[in-house]
Amino acid sequence: MNGSQVQIVRAVSTYVKNSMGVTDRSLINITILRSLDYVRLACRARITPALPA
């Protein structure tokens, strides 16, 4: 990176179809998958302590 230049870096994959064989554009951008995974884990962590043992 040179002083005033900005770089945008994002992870992409070569997957274009999900496990059902349907074209899924969200699989190309790994950032979307990581974000969804984080939300899933955050929701699980928030709900789990509230469940009775």
Domains in the chain: boundaries: 1-47
Phi and psi angles of residue 29, each rounded to the nearest 5 degrees, phi first: -95, 105
Q: What confidence score (pLDDT) does residue 33 get?
A: 75
Average pLDDT per 10 consecutive residues for the chain, totaling 53 residues: 72 79 78 83 84 64
Q: What confidence score (pLDDT) does residue 11 get?
A: 75
User: Buried (b) or exposed (e) across 35-52, using 16+ Cβ within 10 A?
Assistant: eeeeeeeeeeeeeeeeee
